[in-house]
């Protein structure tokens, strides 16, 4: 019984090694194809497409100011919620008489 398990393990191990080898070959081929396509696309598209410098206008300034205001407001609200205020708590002394 032990021999049959070791024989089956050897068969499975050989099949797994064979599959991993084929998978490695496929991945190497895909890598070479991708490298060739990247090189081809880099010569045709990158050189023909001029990149314009990005201009920042009043819209970017307003958006930045609005973002800073939102972050500051959220920080203030979090501070108000999480701060300890000794006067906010009700004493446990109840006169139930």
Let me know if residue 33 belongs to a domain: yes
Let me know if residue 90 belongs to a domain: no
| Per-residue pLDDT at 20 exceeds 70 | yes
Let me know if residue 94 belongs to a domain: no
Let me know if residue 95 belongs to a domain: no
| Per-residue pLDDT at 71 exceeds 60 | yes
Expressed as residue numbers, the domain containing 6 is 2-50+57-83
Let me know if residue 65 belongs to a domain: yes
Let me know if residue 91 belongs to a domain: no
pLDDT at 46: 55
The band of 75, judged by pLDDT with boundaries at 50, 70 and 90, is: very high
CA proximity to 64, closest of 56, 73, 53: 56
Report the alpha-carbon distance of residue 94 to residue 97 in Å, rounded: 9
Locate all alpha helices (DSSP H) within 42-86, ordered by sequence: 58-82
Q: How far is CA 46 from the centre of its chain?
A: 27
Report the alpha-carbon distance of residue 39 to residue 23 in Å, rounded: 24
Of these ranges, 25-29, 47-51, 55-59, 69-73, the one predicted with the greatest mean pLDDT is: 69-73
Report the alpha-carbon distance of residue 57 to residue 36 in Å, rounded: 40
pTM greater than 0.85 (yes/no): no
């Amino acid at each position: 019984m032990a021999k049959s398990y070791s024989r089956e393990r050897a068969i499975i191990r050989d099949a797994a090694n064979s599959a991993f080898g084929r998978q490695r070959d496929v991945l190497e081929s895909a890598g070479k194809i991708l490298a060739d396509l990247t090189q081809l696309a880099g010569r045709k598209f990158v050189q023909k497409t001029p990149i314009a410098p990005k201009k920042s206008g009043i819209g970017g300034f307003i958006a930045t100011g609005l973002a800073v205001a939102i972050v500051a407001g959220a920080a203030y609200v979090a501070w108000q919620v999480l701060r300890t205020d000794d006067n906010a708590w009700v004493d446990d002394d109840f006169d139930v008489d």
